[in-house]
Amino acid sequence: MRPVEKQPGSIDDPPLSPEGEQRAQRLAQMFGDAGAAGGLEAIYASDDRRAQQTAAPLAQRLHRTPQLFSAGDARTAAARVLREHAGGTVLVIGSGTTVPQMIHELNGVDVGAAAPGESDILYVVSVPSIGRAHLVRIRL
For the chain, the first-to-last Cα distance in angstroms comes to 10
pLDDT value of position 81: 93
Write down the domain spans for the chain: 18-139
Question: Is the model's pLDDT at 6 over the cut of 90?
Answer: no
77 pLDDT more than 60: yes
DSSP class per residue in 3-58: --PBPSS--SSPPBPHHHHHHHHHHHHHHTTTTSTTSEEEEEEESSHHHHHHHHHH
Q: Across residues 104-123, what is the average pLDDT?
A: 84
pLDDT at 8 exceeding the cut of 70: no
| Residue 28: pLDDT over 80 | yes
pLDDT at residue 47 in the model: 94
Whose CA is closest to 92, among 119, 61, 62, 67? Answer: 67
Q: Which of 37-41, 79-83, 128-132 has the lowest mean pLDDT?
A: 37-41
Res. 37: pLDDT tops 70: no
| Mean of pLDDT values over 69-93 | 91
Q: Which residue would you say has higher pLDDT here, 76 or 128? A: 76
Predicted model pTM? 0.84
For 18-139, CATH number out of 3.40.50.1240, 3.40.50.720, 3.40.109.10, 3.40.50.12780 equals 3.40.50.1240
